[in-house]
Amino acid sequence: MAPTTNISAQSRSESEPRIGGATAPRDPSVSSSPPSAGEMARPIQHPAGASPLRRLLSEGWLVVRRSVLWSYERGTWQYDLIVLAILAFIFLSPRGWFSDRPTLELSNLRHQQGIVELSRVKGTARYEVDARLVESLNLKAEDAIAIIIRQHVQKPCTVKSIAEYRDRNEILLGYIVVVEDLSKTP
């Protein structure tokens, strides 16, 4: 007499998933785990009559899709190549592509009412005066700057020097003014 095999409920549940209380056979083509690196690196299987151009385009699309979605495992040559491309972009791209350095713009001085004190040393102060404020007085630049500085300082002072401040497009942004405070001189 041949021995009979008794499959217990526990071993049956491991081999066949339960659906609504009943067991269903497991489909070997469906996997519940994510694909491994070996499965992902597998080339696309094309129909026998596919043209070489179609094969090339579909494989190229697969490489682009995997690169954009970062589907390669760490340690593979594809992963290393993507990392090298990113590092090359970071370190080898010209600064001109990213002209995001802060620059003084005319709008920076609006909240300061057109005048900013840059430094003060032993009775001498340096100010930056907005060109729009100077132009609004409809006077010569030297006369308008003297009036603006006296109103701002509210003390007796003399203007020692005036230098124009322009941006890289040679647009006049303002003036750098050196002022000597007469109330502090001996």
Residue 138 is inside which H or E element, if any? Answer: none
Domain shared by 77 and 113, yes or no: no
Which pLDDT score, from 0 to 100, does residue 3 have?
54
Q: What is the pLDDT of residues 24-69, one digit of tens each?
A: 555 555 555 555 555 555 555 656 667 888 888 888 888 888 877 8
Round to whole Å and give the CA distance between 63 and 99: 32
Domain shared by 43 and 68, yes or no: yes
Mean pLDDT over each residue of the chain, to the nearest integer: 74
Domain with 69, as residue range(s), is 33-95
Task: Determine contact, residues 127/115, Cβ cutoff 8 Å.
Answer: yes
Which pLDDT score, from 0 to 100, does residue 165 have?
86
Rg of the chain in Å (alpha carbons): 38
> How many domains does the structure of the chain reveal?
2
Q: What is the pLDDT of residues 66-105, one digit of tens each?
A: 877 878 888 888 888 889 999 999 999 887 787 666 555 5
Choose one of 67, 95, 123: the last residue of a domain: 95
User: 71, 73, 67: which is closest to 86 by C-alpha?
Assistant: 67
Domain shared by 162 and 134, yes or no: yes
Domain shared by 145 and 164, yes or no: yes
Q: What is the pLDDT of residues 122-147, one digit of tens each?
A: 888 898 988 888 888 888 989 988 88
100 lies in a domain? no
